[in-house]
Amino acid sequence: MHVVVAGGAGYIGSIVVRTLLREKYTVTVLDDLSHGNVWSLPKAARFVEGDIADPSAVQLAIHGEAHALMHFAAKIDVAESMRDPALYHSANVDKSLLLLSQIQMARVRYVVFSSTAAVYDPNTLQPLKEDAALEPVSVYGRTKLIVESALTELAKAGSLSYVALRYFNAAGASLEDGLGEAHPHETHLIPLTMRAVTTGSPLTIFGSDYPTPDGTCIRDYIDVRDLASAHLQALRYLERGGVSTAFNVGRGEGTSVRELLAMIEAVAGKPIPQAMGSRRQGDPSSLVADVQNIKRDLGWVARHSLQDTVESAWRWHTRSTSS
Ligand SMILES: NC(=O)c1ccc[n+]([C@@H]2O[C@H](COP(=O)([O-])OP(=O)(O)OC[C@H]3O[C@@H](n4cnc5c(N)ncnc54)[C@H](O)[C@@H]3O)[C@@H](O)[C@H]2O)c1
């Protein structure tokens, strides 16, 4: 069975590609390498270098027939989305719609879409259930919600079935695959903290006046290896005839920035040089997942503790910077 992985040269997609190959799927990666790494592509996957908005690249990736699309390709920087909303609507919405029209024409039956916790209104009761109010505070979150709505409409029209996985904060590395978080322009806390420890240049903590116990933002960090298994289980769910829907993917536990930094300091055995900065636009104070639905319907549970995730990220980061 052939799966097209759009954005499969990126952090999460490249680890999902390995998971699919281990499960004997045939995989084609479609990626324009705008934010991905060519070295992360395995020989066992076909690779089409191209834009998801380019019909000929999409058709080349589908290669006559594909069973499923996994759609990771997007711009992912929340702060940038606030500065340049048109860019994010074009990259994440317009291009996704072009991709979906192509896969609909090719009769690809199943779609697993990378959505985000940023679709929720963060002012509602936490942990967030899938039926909580959807009111993104960032343009990035809004673009993901629009694609979810388009998928809902395509599914109602009978064109396809989909699962939108609303990831909370992806973190950690797959040491087995030699893959970890290596965004060319990094905005995520764990890799930035590790870079601060190894280079000595201070990490900026964005906001210490949030209404949380220690004043810093609370997030739900989900191990990228658990995220990869959630994709596999979502695909299997669709293959069994599961109804189209969205699932949260998190550990169901919140950790503040200060708590996370203390854990990283303990793992690294070194202090983190740090500076206080002001809040970043588009950052809610707290995002924690309710994961009952994905447990019940997919049988998925997070297997890695946060300690394990941080250790994998540290080992991967220090290995890649020392090589
Ligand atoms: N990293 C997280 O914590 C997180 C959280 C929630 C949701 N997500 C979503 O998960 C997905 C993957 O995230 P990631 O951290 O792996 O990002 P990433 O930037 O590492 O991967 C995205 C990949 O998509 C490719 N791409 C982007 N636009 C493209 C286009 N128009 N055509 C072809 N390829 C294109 C990039 O080159 C890159 O390889 C994204 O959709 C992101 O919004 C990530």
The set of catalytic residues is 140
> 141 in ligand 1 pocket by Cβ < 6 Å?
no
Q: Whose CA is nearest to atom 21 of ligand 1?
A: 10
Beta pairing class for 161-167 and 245-249: parallel
* Per-residue tokens: 307: 């300690």
Evaluate: CB of 114 within 6 angstroms of ligand 1. yes
The answer to whether the CB of 36 is under 6 A from ligand 1 is: yes
Residue 52 near ligand 1, beta carbon < 6 Å = yes
> Cα(323)–Cα(309) distance, rounded to whole angstroms?
21
Is 191 touching ligand 1 by the criterion CB < 6 Å?
A: no
> Which residue, by CA, sits nearest to atom 18 of ligand 1?
10
Q: Which atom of ligand 1 is nearest to the CA of 140?
A: 43
Tens-digit pLDDT profile for residues 31-90: 999 999 999 999 999 999 999 999 999 999 999 999 999 999 999 999 899 999 999 999
**Is 73 in contact with 55 (CB distance < 8 Å)?**
no
Any atom of ligand 1 within 6 Å of the Cβ of 3: no
What residues does 249 pair with on adjacent strands? 167
Proportion of the chain in helix, strand, coil states, percent, rounded to 5: 40, 20, 40
CA distances from 134 to 60, 129, 141, 180, 245 (A): 36, 10, 10, 30, 14
**What percent of the chain has pLDDT above 70?**
99
CA atoms of 72 and 25, how far apart (whole Å): 17
Q: What is the pLDDT of residues 237-296, one digit of tens each?
A: 999 999 999 999 999 999 999 999 999 999 999 999 999 999 987 788 999 999 999 999
SS3 string of 199-219? Answer: HCCCEEEECCCCCCCCCCCEE
CA of 269 to the centre of ligand 1 (A): 31
d(CA 163, CA 151): 9
CA of 258 to the centre of ligand 1 (A): 27
The pLDDT assigned to 322 comes to: 42
Predicted confidence at residue 185, as pLDDT, reads: 85
- What's the chain's Rg over C-alpha atoms? 19
pLDDT category of residue 170 using cuts at 50, 70 and 90: very high
Q: 37: which 2 tokens?
A: 């790494």
pLDDT computed for residue 122 by the predictor: 86
Q: Kindly give the distance from the C-alpha atom of residue 271 to the centroid of ligand 1, in angstroms, as a whole number.
A: 31
One-letter amino acid at 288 equals V
Nearest CA to ligand 1 atom 36: 35
Cα gap 99→93, rounded to integer Å: 10
Name residues whose C-beta falls within 8 Å of residue 152's C-beta, 6 or more positions apart in sequence.
244
Which two three-digit tokens encode residue 287? 């995002």
Going by alpha carbons, the residue nearest to atom 29 of ligand 1 is 73
8 CB near ligand 1 (under 6 Å) = no
Topology of domain 2-171+222-249, CATH: Rossmann fold (3.40.50)
What pLDDT shows up at residue 320?
A: 52
Do 44 and 21 contact (CB within 8 A), yes or no? yes
Q: Whose CA is nearest to atom 20 of ligand 1?
A: 10
Euclidean distance between CA atoms 167 and 65, whole angstroms: 28
Residues for the chain: how many in total? 323
- List pLDDT tens digits, range 192-228: 999 999 999 999 999 999 999 999 999 999 999 999 9
Q: What is the DSSP letter of 184?
A: S
User: What is the domain class of 175-219+252-322 according to CATH?
Assistant: alpha beta
CATH 3.40.50.720 in the chain, residues? 2-171+222-249
- Pick the closest to residue 259 from 200, 303, 310 (CA basis): 310
Predicted confidence at residue 323, as pLDDT, reads: 38
List every span in the chain annotated with CATH 3.90.25.10: 175-219+252-322
pLDDT at 321 exceeding the cut of 70: no
Instruction: For residue 42, report the distance from its CA to the centre of ligand 1, in Å.
Output: 18
Report CA(11)–ligand 1 centroid distance (Å): 7
**What is the per-residue pLDDT across 111-165, written as a single tens digit (0 to 9) for each?**
999 999 999 998 888 999 999 999 999 999 999 999 999 999 999 999 899 999 9
